[in-house]
Each structure stands twice: as C-alpha cells, then as structure tokens.
C-alpha cells in the first residue's frame, strides 16, 4: 500500500485551509454588514413613516384651516377675535337706546378678566363686564332695548341679568316722564388673536 504524498499536498491543503478561513471571515463580515444594513433600513423606514405622519397631519391641519377660515374671518370682523373694541360696544349701547326710543343711559366698563375655563375650552377667552343704567317709562322698554342691542352688537356678549326699580329722584313726575330705572350687566367676550390667526 502506498502512502499519499502529504508533502506534495501540504501546500494545497494550506491553501484550502486559508480559503476556508477567508470564506468564514467573509461570511461573518457579510452577516454583520447585512445586520447593519437591516438596522439602517429599519431606521430609514421609521424616519419615512414619521415624515409621512407629519405630512398627513399637516394636510389635515391645512384642510381644517381651509374649512374654517371663512368662519374665523367672520369672527374677526365681528370683533370676537382680537383686541377689545370698547368704543364700538359703547356706541352700540347708545344707538340701541336711541333705536328703542329711550331716555339716555349711563355705562361702566370693568377691566378685562379671564373667562371661566369651562367656557373657554382651551381658548384665551376673556370677558369684560359692562354695566348699563337707564331710565325707562314702562317694563316693555327694557326688552325693546335688548332687542335693539342684539341687532347692533359688534361682538359676542351675554346678558348676565337686569333689574328694574323705581326712581327715587322723581317724587312728583309727569306721566310722560320715566319713573323706572333699569340696570343690566352684560359680559362681552373676546378671544386674544394668536400670531397665526393674525397672519391668516
């Protein structure tokens, strides 16, 4: 029996061993690169998903703005959004008094305060108390005045309450002179405009 020529095959076996080592190293390196590529792909996919969500949110906001822009501009024009227009409130009350055929009025305006959180629903809603006092001839003069004010009001307000009392300063008044005094408290509401709202 003849022995294989190990001496002659030694070099070739060494080359096969080196090739196997290189192949193993290549497989190990390729696996690491594949894992890194998969992690990078996952990160890129996550970033792409985040961008898509942001784009969808932006589209929804744009649609919301386009849907409600007309109503927002109407509220700005009406005086509900933005700075208080106290002069317009006073003029509306005086004109309503004249329209109702009444006998003049006195008014007081308090400083603006924050409205109740239940009313505001997250908006920067403020309220201003206006107290009106006016002489009236009969009880029906008051609803007539309030209807005239509603027709002229340049903003959003709520009548907090009214009361009628006899005037003390007219002991012997003529029948055509007002003998009653009406006093009403109104709340005028305004929403502070944000920069975004003013740019719209």
pLDDT digits (tens, 9 = 90+) for 108-123: 999 999 888 777 777 8
Confidence tier at 31 by pLDDT (50, 70, 90): confident
Decide: 72 and 197 in contact? Cβ < 8 Å.
yes
* Residues 6 or more apart in contact with residue 107 via CB below 8 angstroms: 90, 93, 130, 131, 132, 133
pLDDT digits (tens, 9 = 90+) for 151-178: 999 889 999 999 999 877 655 555 567 8
Distance CA 165, CA 185 (A): 15
Bridge partners (DSSP) listed for residue 180: 136, 166
CATH number of 86-197: 3.30.70.60
| Position 36 pLDDT exceeds 70 | yes
| Token pair listed for 72 | 């927002």
Three-state SS for 138? coil
Backbone angles phi, psi at 175, to 5 degrees: -65, -25
Cα-Cα-Cα-Cα dihedral sign, residues 16, 17, 22, 23: positive
| Position 6 pLDDT exceeds 80 | no
Give the pLDDT score at 175: 59
Residue 145 vs residue 74, higher pLDDT: 145
Decide: 149 and 92 in contact? Cβ < 8 Å.
yes
Give the pLDDT score at 147: 96
Residue 38 vs residue 5, higher pLDDT: 38
pLDDT digits (tens, 9 = 90+) for 70-102: 877 887 777 788 888 999 999 999 999 999 999
Decide: 143 and 129 in contact? Cβ < 8 Å.
no
Q: The pTM is what?
A: 0.62
> 168-200: buried (b, 16+ CB within 10 Å) or exposed (e) per residue?
eeeeeeeeeebebbbbbbbbbbbbebeeeeeee
Give the pLDDT score at 200: 38
């Amino acid at each position: 029996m003849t022995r294989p020529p190990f001496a002659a095959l030694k070099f070739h076996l060494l080359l096969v061993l080196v090739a196997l080592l290189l192949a193993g190293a290549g497989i190990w390196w390729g696996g690491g690169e594949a894992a890194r590529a998969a992690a990078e792909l996952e990160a890129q996919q996550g970033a792409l998903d985040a961008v898509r969500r942001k784009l969808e949110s932006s589209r929804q906001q744009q649609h919301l703005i386009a849907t409600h822009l007309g109503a927002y501009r109407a509220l700005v024009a009406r005086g509900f959004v933005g700075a208080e227009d106290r002069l317009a409130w006073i003029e509306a009350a005086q004109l309503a008094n004249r329209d109702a055929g009444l006998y003049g009025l006195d008014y007081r305006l308090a400083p603006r305060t924050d409205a109740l959180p239940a009313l505001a629903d997250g908006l920067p809603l403020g309220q201003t108390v206006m107290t009106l006092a006016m002489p009236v001839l009969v009880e029906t003069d008051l609803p007539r005045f309030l209807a005239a004010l509603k027709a002229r009001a340049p903003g959003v307000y709520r009548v907090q309450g009214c009361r009628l009392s006899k005037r003390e300063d007219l002991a012997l008044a003529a029948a055509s002179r007002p003998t009653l005094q009406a006093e009403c408290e109104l709340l005028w509401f305004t929403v502070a405009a944000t920069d975004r709202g003013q740019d719209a």
